[in-house]
Amino acid sequence: MFPALRSEIAGVSLRNVARRFGTPTFVYDAATIERKIDDLKAFDVVRYAQKACSNIAILDLMRRKGVVVDAVSAGEIHRALKAGFQPHAAAGAPHPIVYTADIFDRDALEMVLKHDIHVNCGSPDMLEQYGARKPGANVTLRINPGFGHGHSQKTNTGGEQSKHGIWHEQLDDCLRIADRHGLSVTGLHLHIGSGTDMEHLSQVCGAMEKLAADVGRTLTTISAGGGLPTIYQEGDTYVDVAAYYKLWDASRKRLEAQFGHKLALELEPGRYLVAESGYLVAEIRAIKKMGKNTFYLLDAGFNNLARPILYGSHHPMSIVPGPLDEVGTIAVDERPKADVIVGGPLCESGDIFTQAEGGYVCTRSLPTAQVGELLVIECAGAYGFAMGSNYNSKPYAAEVLLRNGQAHLIRARQTPDDLIRGEVIPV
Ligand code: LLP
């Protein structure tokens, strides 16, 4: 399923991309994102969790495909507005932007009020603060149903150990807070974790039905949250979207019968839409032997892709045959494989892309390669660039969107001056 050698993505030569835009560069294939959006068309509303990959060109692509957007900060609201999303909905249409969080920082509160952005409250305090400033508004409540599940303990957002959402036993208290401010609870939202599985996802439907019955007839929207898993290695399987929809649709229909009116069913995927579309293209700059181990050292590190060091996440890798400096087509050749460790340039031992959770360094069987060839880290579109940092004063990577056989620069690589912007030496 994942090639060990590749020279192109969506018909665009990777060596040309690297020569034109430099490395490391994130490359996204627009057609893959569009295909993933189409997979989910049964749902009334697909609300993209932009934290996964928030470049405004990606948001614009989503908007053109009829996807609406989730924002978790004033910055993400700003991005959504810049990408052309309207702040609030036309009658009967889904909210183009929803602010979902557990707190309002002061910037976010002012931003949602200024632009009249719909709010999904994840704490009683947030509801109080919003009600005090915008009595009479419609709100969504995010509930922690008391259980959760994720691909890592760090991405489990339900249960008592999680800070997310309103504890399910506090729903009544929150309905009273809403009443006190004249707020109408029109939406209910559950998101139990990221990269979970069908079994856990299906438990959420039952919790939703019970909680929705407690809220009652003011509800017009229920949201199944995000968390739809995607594939990161051989053997991973795609979630059965049709079966998942059926479960949710049945819950929705039972609630509609109870309330006597229609309910919109929202889904809030992040990684499902963008993970597979994205590739981190890096150059191998050194090949080192350390005792029995061979290291391929890249010009990309955990400043570009933090998932391996954070969660021990596995990402497929491939080698682009042919030195970067050599112009002309180079055939994808047959090469022997070797077990290697792949790391980055940062001054930190954990800067290793082939590691398991807990920081245990692993080897990966990859085609033998040379310094000056490209290595591609795949399935990196979600939580890749978005979780990047300037650690070691490394600039953010460039981002490139492939569309109709063309490579478009959608974010320029940072310059040295970008790195120190805003810094001041006091006199
Ligand atoms: N909705 C809410 C309220 C969320 O908190 C999240 C993710 C999503 C939707 C989208 O989840 P997705 O469909 O992408 O799984 N950095 C981690 C993932 C953190 C997810 C945070 N919230 C990773 O790289 O796996």
Tell me the per-residue pLDDT of 308-348, one tens digit each, with 9 for 90 and over: 999 999 999 999 999 888 776 666 677 899 999 999 999 99
In ligand 1, the atom with minimum distance to the C-alpha of 225 is 1
Catalytic residues: 347
Using an 8 Å Cβ cutoff, are 222 and 187 in contact?
A: yes
Using an 8 Å Cβ cutoff, are 313 and 307 in contact?
A: yes
In ligand 1, the atom with minimum distance to the C-alpha of 142 is 3
Local confidence band at 112 (pLDDT 50, 70, 90 cut-offs): very high
Mutate to test the pocket of ligand 1, among 43, 51, 53, 232 (most ligand atoms within 8 A of CB): 51
| Averaged confidence pLDDT in the chain | 95
- Ligand 1 centroid–CA 52 distance in Å is 7
pLDDT tens digits, one per residue of 219-263: 999 999 999 999 999 999 888 999 999 999 999 999 999 999 999
Mean pLDDT of the 359-370 span = 97
- What region does 312 belong to: left with phi over 0, alpha with psi -120 to 50, or beta? left
Residues with CB under 6 A from ligand 1: 49, 52, 100, 155, 157, 191, 194-195, 225-228, 268-272, 307, 382-383, 387
Mean pLDDT of the 402-420 span = 98
pLDDT above 80 for 201: no
Query: Among all chains, which residue has been given the structure tokens 């930190």?
Result: 348
pLDDT above 70 for 109: yes
- Ligand 1 centroid–CA 37 distance in Å is 17
- Ligand 1 centroid–CA 237 distance in Å is 19
Element (H, E) at 283: strand 278-290
The pLDDT score that the predictor gives to residue 369 is 97
In ligand 1, the atom with minimum distance to the C-alpha of 152 is 25
Residue 318 — φ and ψ, nearest 5°? -140, 160
